[in-house]
Amino acid sequence: MYRKKGQVAIFILIAIVFIFSIVAFFYISNPNIRSESIDAVLITGYISSCLDDSVKNGVLKTGLREADLNKYILNSLESCDLQVFEKEGFDISEEDVVLKTEISNKEVVVKADYSLSIAKNGVSVKVDEFYSSLDLQKTIPITNEEFTVGSEDGVLQLNIPANINALLDDDHISNIHIDMIDSSGDANIFSPIIYNLRPSGSKFFPNLVLNMDYSDSNLPRNFNENNLRILIRENSDSEWKALHTNTDLSKKILTANISHFSDVGIGRTKCL
């Protein structure tokens, strides 16, 4: 009995080796097929990565409003440049993207109906669908109680609500603080200070509420206060961008929502 089992095991091993040899011979004798197939997978993987980034950043910037999120995702996918692959000899044809998004308290699931044909050296691959999901439960709670972080000069107040979360890869944000930088020489900023929210780059879900006091003495003469905006930039080398800002003219307070930490200041609607 044991001898027969041993013989069966040997035959199975020989069969496996034989099959493996045939597969290896096929790939070795057809290097173009192997190469193009692998590159096609790289292309679809690149698009999948673009979709994942678009979903993640879209939730951070637009929240869970399906129409706004889909618009953001579509705009972001347009920036996923496939020319680098076309320069390598791939013929890529694509159709318009149609999104189907499902949003729950636990996750965001996006299905992209995106017909993509990839061809090179007689080898072609066609893909019709891409999927991405963002687990909203994989977040880090910052605090169980609401609190406010303020700048030393009292101009800026950042409200941190109870149970606010940060995405999982930002697990360093417990030490929240505000650095103050002299704004002299920056024509876009009316306030004497640029406020650097730290740790820079930390991302929150949902958005945080930022309040900034302003003074008439810091504004150009006859400036319309309704044109004041809270400005934000990623770093000192980046351009300022105006946030959607509410102005309380009686209390002279500007209010805006932010999704991540970076530099902020008070300026005008359009940056120079």
Predicted confidence (pLDDT) per residue in 112-143, tens digit: 999 888 888 878 888 889 999 887 765 555 55
Cβ–Cβ under 8 Å, residues 197 and 211: no
Single pTM value for the model: 0.52
User: What backbone phi and psi angles, to 5 degrees, belong to 206?
Assistant: -75, -170
What confidence tier does 33 reach under pLDDT thresholds 50, 70, 90? very low
C-alpha closest to that of 241 among 205, 272, 210: 272
Q: How many CB atoms lie within 10 A of CB 207?
A: 17
CA–CA distance, 140 with 169 (Å, rounded to integer): 9
Query: Which pair of structure tokens corresponds to residue 266?
Result: 């008070």
Question: Which pLDDT band holds residue 189 (cuts at 50, 70, 90)?
Answer: very high
Sheet holding 177-182, edge to edge: 177-182, 193-198, 263-268, 228-233, 241-242
- CB contact at 8 A, 215 and 228: no
In 3D space, the residue among 203, 153, 194, 158 whose CA is nearest the CA of residue 177 turns out to be 158
Torsion angle, alpha carbons of 198, 202, 205, 209, to 10: 30
Least confident of 16-30, 173-187, 192-206, 256-270: 16-30
CB-count burial class (<10 Å; 0-12, 13-18, 19+) for 29:
exposed
CA 234 to chain centre: 14
Orientation angle between helical segments 2-29 and 31-62, nearest 10 degrees: 90
- Closest to 44 (Cα-Cα) out of 32, 55, 34, 36: 36
pLDDT at residue 190, as a whole number: 92
The SS3 assignment for 140 reads strand
Residues in Cβ contact with 59 at an 8 Å cutoff, skipping those fewer than 6 apart: 69, 108, 134, 136, 205
Terminal CA-CA length for the chain: 88
Distance of alpha carbon 119 from alpha carbon 107, whole angstroms: 35
> pLDDT per residue over 141-155, tens digit each?
555 667 788 999 999
Mean pLDDT over residues 42-55, rounded? 87
> Is residue 193 over pLDDT 90?
yes
If we measure between CA atoms, which residue out of 119, 115, 110, 111 comes closest to residue 128? Answer: 115
In the block, tokens 């192997």 appear at 34
User: In this structure, which amino acid lies at residue 233?
Assistant: R
